[in-house]
């Protein structure tokens, strides 16, 4: 049995580059950018009027002029006008090009307009005010968004501005999610007394959807021949297999055995953690196999703790670890890393983690009350005190 740290290390040593694809920029939120996005021209691309008002030549204001004849109007979206008489003014609109011979903008609020004449009503203005100068934010050729950024709505506007209607992103692995366990029936079925409905595969589908990874699902019966035959074809057709169940010590937990028989190299089996201990991990040249234990909380936490970081590192993303403050003492006897379900709240800029009183790894419903797992390290003391800080894995 290896530790959580060892398991993470092995998994992150075995990431895989799935290549790059080009997709429409509006579909790219949540995907990982695989090119630097560069300014195609200066930002702003011209001396841009930043307030509705009048544009003047500051010199004349300085000379004491307060009445400026309105020579013309420069709307946004029009070619640059030239003010012929430098002692005149131009009405200018936010977003417009600053007219030639103007160097200062005074907003309408500080001006009275009488048909052809603008009178400035204030005595203090600054030369160059209310102008967003060409290249002030960024210069042509500057990198605006770095490769390996996870694209969010704030990147979408930048992509649009530089004309990236298509954008290069990390290709997603092709994933098959497989449940096993003869006690499982479909969601639409009425289970017999000894049966329960399938749920883990759907949880996994939606956890992968959060990463924008589509997946297929199948259910296999706990029969060795069936497993052998189906898994052989899955190993050929998919980049990643996620299993839920059949990795423990049961008489029908054939999965590790079958996987090894089919030539899947075992990376490890069993991690010193609760929940999620019987996790089996392996790979072939073309396929990674994450075989999670079948208890709902085990599957859930292992997907977050192992699959998520594996995918992010495969795609080139550096994740920022998070921490939270325990609000209660927790004692935990077994010499295992304890992924404890917690409710997260923020107060005064601090993130607090309050343990959820779940009934163990089978207690699916407790996840509804939790926002994440706090990771309490494997230690012999196993007394974790209120106020101590530990890593936290949020899922909400």
Site for its own copies in 195-234 (CB under 8 A): 195-200, 202-203, 205-207, 209-210, 222
Minimum separation from the CB atom of position 133 to its own copies (A): 9
Nearer to its own copies, 123 or 357 (CB): 357
CB of 339 closer than 8 Å to CB of 276: yes
CB of 178 closer than 8 Å to CB of 287: no
Residue 64 lies near its own copies (rule: CB under 8 A): no
CA atoms within 13 Å, Cβ hemisphere of 159 = 25
Question: Considering CB under 8 A, how many residues would be counted as binding its own copies?
Answer: 114
What part of residues 332-361 is at the interface with its own copies (CB under 8 A)? Answer: 345-352, 358-360
CA atoms within 13 Å, Cβ hemisphere of 5 = 5
The binder of its own copies chosen from 13, 63, 123, 249 (CB under 8 A): 249
Nearer to its own copies, 13 or 190 (CB): 190
CB of 287 closer than 8 Å to CB of 238: yes
Minimum separation from the CB atom of position 349 to its own copies (A): 4
DSSP 3-state of 100: strand
Nearer to its own copies, 209 or 286 (CB): 209
Minimum separation from the CB atom of position 192 to its own copies (A): 7
Beta carbons within 10 angstroms of residue 391's beta carbon: 13
Nearer to its own copies, 12 or 75 (CB): 75
Euclidean distance between CA atoms 109 and 6, whole angstroms: 65
Compute φ and ψ for 332, nearest 5 degrees: -145, 110
What part of residues 254-293 is at the interface with its own copies (CB under 8 A)? Answer: none
What part of residues 97-126 is at the interface with its own copies (CB under 8 A)? Answer: 97, 107-109
Closest listed residue to residue 275, CA positions, set 345, 343, 332: 332
Taking contact as CB under 8 A, which single stretch among the options 159-167, 266-274, 309-317, 330-338 is the one that binds its own copies? Answer: 159-167
Taking contact as CB under 8 A, which single stretch among the options 10-18, 169-177, 180-188, 260-268 is the one that binds its own copies? Answer: 180-188
Radius of gyration, CA atoms only, the chain: 31
The binder of its own copies chosen from 19, 63, 64, 77 (CB under 8 A): 77
Minimum separation from the CB atom of position 392 to its own copies (A): 8
What part of residues 355-394 is at the interface with its own copies (CB under 8 A)? Answer: 358-360, 362-368, 370, 389
Positive or negative: CA dihedral 357, 360, 366, 367: positive
Residue 331 lies near its own copies (rule: CB under 8 A): no
Nearer to its own copies, 4 or 371 (CB): 371
Nearer to its own copies, 20 or 365 (CB): 365
> Please, which residues have CB within 8 angstroms of residue 44's CB and are 6 or more apart in sequence?
132, 133, 134, 135, 136, 137
Reply yes or no: is the peptide bond before residue 269 cis, omega within 30 of 0: no
């Amino acid at each position: 049995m290896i530790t959580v740290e060892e398991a993470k290390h092995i998994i992150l040593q075995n990431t895989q580059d799935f290549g790059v694809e080009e997709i429409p920029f509006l579909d790219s939120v949540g995907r990982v950018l695989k090119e630097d996005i560069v300014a195609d021209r200066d930002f702003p691309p011209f001396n841009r009027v930043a307030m509705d008002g009048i544009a003047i030549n500051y010199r004349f204001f300085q000379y004491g002029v307060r009445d400026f004849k309105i020579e013309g109007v420069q709307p946004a979206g029009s070619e640059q006008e030239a003010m012929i008489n430098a002692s005149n003014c131009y009405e200018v609109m936010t977003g417009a090009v600053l007219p030639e011979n103007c160097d200062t903008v005074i907003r309408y609020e500080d001006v009275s307009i009488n048909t052809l004449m603008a009178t400035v009503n204030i005595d203090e203005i600054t030369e160059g005010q209310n102008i967003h100068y060409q290249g002030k934010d960024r210069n042509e050729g500057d990198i605006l968004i770095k490769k390996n950024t996870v694209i969010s709505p704030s990147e979408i506007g930048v992509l649009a501005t530089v004309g990236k209607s298509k954008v290069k992103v990390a290709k997603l692995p092709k994933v098959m999610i497989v449940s096993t366990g003869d006690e499982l029936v479909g969601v639409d079925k009425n289970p017999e007394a000894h049966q329960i409905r399938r749920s883990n595969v759907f949880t996994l589908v939606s956890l992968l959807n959060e990463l924008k990874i589509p997946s297929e699902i199948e259910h296999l019966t706990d029969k060795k021949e069936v497993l052998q035959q189906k898994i052989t074809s899955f190993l050929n057709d998919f980049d990643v297999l996620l299993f839920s169940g059949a990795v423990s010590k049961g008489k029908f937990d054939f999965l590790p055995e079958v996987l090894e028989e089919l030539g899947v190299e075992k990376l490890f089996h069993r991690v010193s953690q609760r929940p999620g201990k019987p996790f089996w991990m392996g790979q072939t040249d073309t396929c990674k196999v994450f075989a999670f234990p079948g208890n709902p909380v085990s599957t859930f936490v292992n997907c977050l703790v192992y699959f998520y970081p594996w995918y992010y590192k495969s795609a080139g993303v550096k994740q920022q670890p998070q921490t939270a403050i325990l609000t209660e003492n927790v004692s935990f006897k077994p010499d295992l890393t304890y992924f404890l379900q917690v409710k997260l709240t923020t107060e005064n800029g601090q993130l607090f983690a309050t343990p959820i009183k779940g009934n163990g790894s089978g207690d699916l419903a407790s996840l509804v009350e939790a926002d994440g797992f706090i990771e309490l390290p494997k230690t012999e003391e196993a007394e974790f005190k209120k106020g101590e800080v530990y890593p936290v894995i949020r899922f909400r």
